[in-house]
Amino acid sequence: MANGTAGLLIGFNLLVKTSDYPSFSYIRKRLIHSLIKYHETDENGIEYGKLGILNCVYFLNKRDNLFKKIYKQEFFDDLK
């Protein structure tokens, strides 16, 4: 679930940056809160889920102002 949420957040970010679509800020806020709440994942004992989420967090931390406002440093440290 968290990996899918991460993909949606990156997709919305790219869509907003490359087109004149609305910012989807309400949806993005809910997805960010969902990612923070449900980031604990392992897919059949493999850590690929966490790698995807960590890549998403790095991407959004660099490029998404809404994400920067919402996420807390403790969440970022917990992913490492």
Domain regions of the chain by residue span: 2-79
Its pTM stands at 0.70
pLDDT at position 50 is: 73
- Residue reference for tokens 């850590």: 47
Q: Which residue has the higher pLDDT, 5 or 78?
A: 5
Q: Kindly tell me the sign of the dihedral angle through the C-alpha atoms of 20, 25, 31, 33.
A: positive
- Mean pLDDT of all residues in the chain? 78
pLDDT at position 44 is: 46
pLDDT at position 19 is: 82
C-alpha R_g of the chain: 12
Q: 12-43: per-residue pLDDT in tens?
A: 988 888 888 888 889 888 988 887 777 666 55
